[in-house]
Amino acid sequence: MCPAPETNKRVPQPAQVDLNAWRPSAAQPVLRARAQMLAGIRAFFAAREVLEVETPMLSQAATTDPALASMRVAGLGYWLHTSPELPMKRLLASGLGPIYQICRVFRDGERGRLHHPEFTLLEWYRPGWTLSALMQEVADLVHDLLHRLELPPKPPLELPVEFIRYRELFQCGLDIDPWHCSPRELQAVAQARGLGAGLKLDTDAWLDFLLTHCLEPQLGQHGLSFVQDYPPSQAALARLSEDDPPHAQRFELYWQGIELANGFQELTDAAQQRQRFAEDQAVRAASGLAPVAQDEQFLAALEAGLPESAGVALGLDRLLMLACGAERIDQVLAFPIERA
Amino acid sequence: MASYKTNEFKGGLKIMLDGDPYNIVENEFVKPGKGQAFNRVKIKNLKTGRVVERTFKSGDSVEAADVHDTELQYLYNDGEVWHFMHPETFEQLAADEAAVGEAVKWIKEQDMCSVTLWNGVPLSVEPPNFVVLEITETDPGLKGDTSGGGGKPATLETGAVVNVPLFVQIGEMIKVDTRTGAYVSRARDE
C-alpha cells in the first residue's frame, strides 16, 4: 500500500473571513454604561475627597507573585504592571493621603469567559482605615454605580451585603478546615464530588480548586458577598492577624458567583515584605518560572514608612458585565484581544 | 510525541487521556485573582461518545491524539467489518462495528462518508447528511392521498425504519436526513 501523496490529504477548508471583525464586541448601550461607570467613580471619590492618581504602567520590576505573569515590552525591556499596587503604595508613603486610580493592567496567559489579558482595574487606598470600613465603602460604591447606569434592563439597585469567613465557607460548604488539612484530604473532598481526577496539587492549589469549582458558584447569589480572613499562606500583600492561629487580613468580594475585588489591610513591615518576595522567588524557582527583578523602590518606601492603610482593587469589566447581565467579558469590551 | 499546552486548548482539539482519544467540547479558564489557574474542560471520548468533565492545572501539557477526519467511499461489508476506500489513493481501510455504529442504518455501497481516523484506524463513521434509499416494506397507503397528513413506518433497503407519508409506496426511492432520521422527500421530486 502506497503512502498517500501530499496532494491527496484532506482539502483544508478555506479560511473563514469574518467581515464583522472590525466591529466592537460590546453593544452601544454597554459602551455608554462603561462611560457612565467611569464618570460615576470619579464623582464618588471627588465627593469623598480621594485623589485620582496615575502611576507608570511600565516598570523595571515585574510581579513576584507566582500566580501572575507580567508581560515584557520588547526594546525597553521594562514590564507592564499586573496592578498599580506598588507605585501607589510609594505615593502613600510619600504622604499623599487617600488615593485611587483607574487603569489598564496586563496579565499574560489569562483568557477566558471572565478573563482578558488586558483589563481595567479600579484600585484605591485609605490610610488609617480598617478593612471593615473599606468593605463598607466598596459596597457603597457598587450601589452608587448601579444607580447611575442607564441600562435596559435596569440592574438590581439594592443588594443585601453579607460577610463570610474563608474558614467557615469551607467548613459549612465542604466540611473541611482549610487551616488543618493535607493535600490528600483536600483531594478526597474533590473526588467525593467527582472532580479533580489526575491532578497533583499542593494545599493552596487544592484550596483554590475547591473554591473555584465548588464554593464560588454559590457566593453572592443574593447580593454582595465578602469573604474574609484568608489562610496565612494566601496573604499576598496583606498583614497577618495576631490571633492564634493567625489569618491574613484580606477580603474578596463576590457577586453572582464571580470574584470582583480583592482587599488588604496592607502589610507595612519592610522586613516581612522582603521575606515574602524571597518566598515568592523560591516558589517561582521551584516551579520552573524565571526569576524576576523585584521592586526595590517599593521596599525602600516601606522602609521609609507606609501609613497603616486598607486598600482594594476592583475589576471594572466584570462589574459592568454583571450590571448589564453579560455572560462573557467580551460583551463589555470595545475590542477583545483577538480583534485588537 | 506531540503535545498541547493548556493555553492551546479550544473546542475541537483532540487529546489523549488515560489511553483514549478525546475531543475538547468546551474549555473554561478558571482562576482566582490571587491563586492557581485551571482549565476546566468538557471532553468527549471518541471511542465511547461519553462526555466527561476534567480539570487541568494551567500550564500543564497533554499528549495530542492523532485523530483526523477523511472522506472515504464505502465499498462493502464482508459480514464482519466494513470496507472503505480513499477515492484518489485507492487505499482501503476496514472499520469495525463499534466504529461504524449508527451509520450502518444509512450507508450503502459507494456512499461517501466522513471517517474519523485514530492513528490511521477508523474510529467513527459519519454517513452523508442526506441519503437516497429504496423502500422495501411498508403498508400500502390509501390511493389518492397526497396530502402528506399522517404517516406510516417504512423499512428501507439498509434495514432502517423511517416514518413516511401515507402516499409513499414500496419500491420508491426516498431522501432521508441521517442526522434526524426524518423523511425529506421522494427522490424523484428532486
Structure confidence by residue, pLDDT tens digits, B162-190: 999 988 899 999 999 999 999 999 987 54
DSSP B64: B
Question: Is residue A246 in some structural domain?
Answer: no
**pTM of this structure:** 0.86
* Domain ranges, residue A142: 28-160+291-339
Question: Is residue A36 in some structural domain?
Answer: yes
- Find, among B164, B170, B169, B138, the residue nearest to B151 by Cα: B164
Give per-residue pLDDT as tens, B93-136: 999 999 999 999 999 999 999 999 999 999 999 999 999 999 99
Give the nearest chain A residue to B7 (CA atoms).
Answer: A109
Task: Report how far residue A141's alpha carbon sits from residue A146's, in angstroms, rounded to the nearest whole number.
Answer: 9
Of A1, A10, A208, the CB nearest to B32: A208
Is the minimum CB–CB distance between A331 and chain B shorter than 8 Å? no
Question: Is residue A318 in some structural domain?
Answer: yes
Question: Is residue A301 in some structural domain?
Answer: yes
Is A191's pLDDT higher than 50? yes
**Other residues' Cβ atoms within 10 Å of the Cβ of residue B158:** 18
Burial of A2 (0-12, 13-18, 19+ CB in 10 A): exposed
Question: Is residue A198 in some structural domain?
Answer: no
Is B54's pLDDT higher than 60? yes
Task: Report how far residue A101's alpha carbon sits from residue A122's, in angstroms, rounded to the nearest whole number.
Answer: 6
Q: pLDDT value at position B1?
A: 73
Question: Is residue A147 in some structural domain?
Answer: yes
Query: A304: domain CATH number?
Result: 3.30.930.10
Question: Is residue A23 in some structural domain?
Answer: no
Report whether the peptide linkage leading into residue A153 is cis, meaning its omega lies within 30 degrees of zero.
Answer: yes
Q: B35 vs chain A: nearest CA distance in angstroms? A: 6
Question: Is residue A232 in some structural domain?
Answer: no
User: Which ipTM value was assigned to this complex?
Assistant: 0.90
Is A333's pLDDT higher than 70? yes
Of B35, B56, B86, the CB nearest to A67: B35
* Number of domains within chain A: 1
| Mean pLDDT, all residues of chain A | 94
Task: Report how far residue A293's alpha carbon sits from residue A77's, in angstroms, rounded to the nearest whole number.
Answer: 11
**Other residues' Cβ atoms within 10 Å of the Cβ of residue A256:** 19
CB distance A212–B70 less than 8 Å? no
- Beta-ladder partners of B138: B154
Lookup result for grid cell 518566598: A279
pLDDT band at B151 (very low <50, low <70, confident <90, very high): confident
Cell numbers placing A163: 460577610
Q: pLDDT value at position A4?
A: 41
Interface of A with B in 295-314 (CB under 8 A): none
- Find, among B144, B83, B74, B147, the residue nearest to B109 by Cα: B74
Q: Which chain B residues have a beta carbon less than 8 Å from that of A259?
A: 32-33
- Find, among A277, A281, A287, the residue nearest to A236 by Cα: A277
Give per-residue pLDDT as tens, A118-170: 999 999 999 999 999 999 999 999 999 999 999 888 888 899 999 999 999 99
- Find, among A311, A297, A180, A307, the residue nearest to A238 by Cα: A311
